[in-house]
Amino acid sequence: MTSNNELFARAQRVIPGGVNSPVRAFRAVGGTPRFIARAEGAYLYDAEGQRYIDYIGSWGPMILGHGHPAVLEAVQKAAADGYSFGAPTEREIELAEAILALVPSVEQLRLVSSGTEAAMSALRLARGATGRTAIIKFEGCYHGHADALLVKAGSGLATFGHPTSAGVPADVVQHTLVLEYNNVAQLDEAFALHGGEIACVIVEPIAGNMNFVRASLPFMRRIRERCSEHGALLIFDEVMTGFRVALGGAQSLYAAQIPGFSPDISVFGKVIGGGMPLAAFGAKRSVMELLAPLGPVYQAGTLSGNPVATACGLATLREIAKPGFFDALAERTRALVAGLTDAAREAGVPFSADSEGGMFGFFFGAELPQNYGQVMATDQERFNRSFHAMLERGVYFAPALYEAGFVSAAHSAADIDATIAAARAALR
Ligand SMILES: *Cc1c(COP(=O)(O)O)cnc(C)c1O
């Protein structure tokens, strides 16, 4: 058996940092990443044969747990029929129909291979539809790594952003305005200054890339109002929240509380691929018809709508659309959050936590943060210690305090109880 340490050393020789996506490297928490050999249900097994209760779920997609029999069968069958054609298939229509049936704001969609690609394409579509260049994003929201989105706030509201990554030209982000999440006054000010230039506002409705921060109702209402007044499009990045916090995504939750609410463009990923590379963006027909081959906005992909990925996504959506699925998932997730909260209280540790559907977040701080600055002001050191203490006890939470957690349908009440017991011991 090869150890995680040996694999990490070997990986670092041929892959930068030893990983194909940076957060996997454990840089935030320190230590050696676990190399996963296989997964089953709610569990991951590493190269050393250690078992972990998995609260990452491949960063969201594995809502049914690993290796769900119906999904596995669909994938195997699809693969046997051929795994890429570069030509349209009936299954792409079926998946599009399944998504459209659950998301009333979307009349047409296009399938792509990653959330990054979907968000990048949505921005291009919004710019093409409005003939405008400027975009608004919020600090702490992640929409993939397209150049225009790797940006931090400029020095004031009148100034646009600066790149957060080397290799991104300042020119490319000079049209991106970065605002504080949940800050209504700042949003108003930005629209007052730049309203006529803004093509779109892109937002994670429940931000899962700064752990778990909900957009407040007043904030969401105001984003919608300002976009409508100024002719900007509202892009909901539901790559994480879509089919995860509710069957209709986070937009169904806001629509239930804000009369007439809907986003203009929606971006999906993660759950809709069920663990395969698949994502999508969609909108009203009039907007989507601006895309090539019908319209002037170019977008394409060799593996888009891949037959194995669509089989995996479709089988996953069929399972989660069954009656009672989300009620049960939400209840189990709430039980986890309540148990962790109790364990922290007993240990006298400042703690706050929240969840929606099968997505949750917790913070070592007494109050739930409302924006990125507040998230990063929570106790990082305690988070890192607790992360390792839980990992040693066979519980795998995300290895960074700005990441959300996920419960799957495969997590049993016993798994939740075992997690809470581990937290009691770890937080002591
Ligand atoms: C994961 C994520 C993305 C990027 O998706 P990839 O498939 O990793 O490119 C974009 N937006 C949000 C909200 C995400 O959580």
What DSSP string describes 98-141? Answer: HHHHH-TT-SEEEEES-HHHHHHHHHHHHHHHHT--EEEEETT-
How far does residue 320's CA lie from ligand 1's centre (Å)? 20
From 141, 240, 265, the mutation candidate for ligand 1 (largest count of ligand atoms within 8 A of CB) is 240
User: Do 50 and 108 belong together in one domain?
Assistant: no
254 annotated active-site? no
| Domain endpoint, select from 320, 341, 357 | 320
Residue 397 Cβ < 6 Å to ligand 1: no
Tell me which residue of 377, 128, 407, 111 sits closest to 268, measured CA to CA.
111
For atom 15 of ligand 1, the residue with the nearest CA is 240
Residue 137 Cβ < 6 Å to ligand 1: no
Q: Which pairing describes strands 198-203 and 206-207: parallel, antiparallel, or unpaired?
A: unpaired
- Using only C-alpha atoms, the chain has a radius of gyration, in whole angstroms, of 21
Task: State the Cα–Cα distance between residues 417 and 401, nearest whole angstrom.
Answer: 22
CB atoms within 10 A of CB 367: 10
Domain region containing 183: 69-320
User: Do 336 and 250 belong together in one domain?
Assistant: no
Q: Is the dihedral of CA 137, 143, 144, 146 positive or negative?
A: negative
Tokens for 355, please give them.
Answer: 């969840």
User: Do 272 and 328 belong together in one domain?
Assistant: no
Residue 269 Cβ < 6 Å to ligand 1: yes
CB 297 within 8 A of CB 122: no
pLDDT of residue 307: 98
User: Do 179 and 260 belong together in one domain?
Assistant: yes
How far does residue 239's CA lie from ligand 1's centre (Å)? 5
Residues 6+ apart with CB under 8 A from 350: 344, 364, 365, 366, 379
Please give the distance of CA 228 from its chain centroid, rounded to a whole number: 26
User: Do 311 and 388 belong together in one domain?
Assistant: no
- For the CA of 141, the closest atom of ligand 1 is 13
Residue 420 Cβ < 6 Å to ligand 1: no
User: Do 185 and 287 belong together in one domain?
Assistant: yes
From 19, 21, 142, the mutation candidate for ligand 1 (largest count of ligand atoms within 8 A of CB) is 142
CATH of the domain at 302: 3.40.640.10
Q: C-alpha angle with apex 101: 99 to 102, nearest 5 degrees?
A: 70
Tally the domains of the chain: 2
417 annotated active-site? no
152 strand-pairing partners: 162
User: Do 89 and 181 belong together in one domain?
Assistant: yes
pLDDT of residue 156: 74
Residue 281 Cβ < 6 Å to ligand 1: no
- pLDDT, block means (10 residues), the chain with 428 residues: 96 98 94 97 98 98 98 98 98 98 98 98 98 97 96 81 94 95 97 97 97 98 98 98 98 97 98 98 98 98 98 98 98 98 97 98 98 97 97 97 97 98 95
How far does residue 125's CA lie from ligand 1's centre (Å)? 18
237 annotated active-site? yes
What Cα–Cα distance (Å) separates residue 396 from each residue in 241, 391, 404, 405? 21, 5, 12, 10
pLDDT of residue 153: 86
User: Do 340 and 401 belong together in one domain?
Assistant: yes
Task: State the Cα–Cα distance between residues 244 and 401, nearest whole angstrom.
Answer: 20
What Cα–Cα distance (Å) separates residue 286 from each residue in 177, 196, 229, 266, 387? 27, 21, 19, 14, 47
CATH of the domain at 411: 3.90.1150.10
| Type of residue at 286 | S
- Cis check for the bond before 263: say yes or no (omega within 30 of 0): no
Burial 257-280 (b: 16+ CB within 10 A, else e): eeeebbbbbbbbbbbbbbbbbbbb
How far does residue 428's CA lie from ligand 1's centre (Å)? 35
Secondary structure element (H or E) that encloses residue 185, with its range: helix 184-194
Residue 220 Cβ < 6 Å to ligand 1: no
Question: Where do the H-state alpha helices sit in 3-114?
Answer: 4-14, 69-80, 90-102
User: Do 329 and 298 belong together in one domain?
Assistant: no
- For the CA of 207, the closest atom of ligand 1 is 13
| Domain endpoint, select from 267, 290, 320 | 320
User: Do 29 and 129 belong together in one domain?
Assistant: no
For atom 6 of ligand 1, the residue with the nearest CA is 115
User: Do 257 and 382 belong together in one domain?
Assistant: no
CB 86 within 8 A of CB 302: yes
Residue 114 Cβ < 6 Å to ligand 1: yes
Residue among 270, 372, 396, 415 flagged as catalytic: 270
User: Do 308 and 351 belong together in one domain?
Assistant: no
Task: State the Cα–Cα distance between residues 372 and 381, nearest whole angstrom.
Answer: 17
Tell me whether residue 325 is exposed, middle or buried, using C-beta atoms within 10 angstroms of its C-beta: 0 to 12, 13 to 18, 19 or more: middle
Largest pairwise CA distance in the chain: 62
| Domain endpoint, select from 320, 340, 375 | 320
pTM for this predicted structure: 0.97
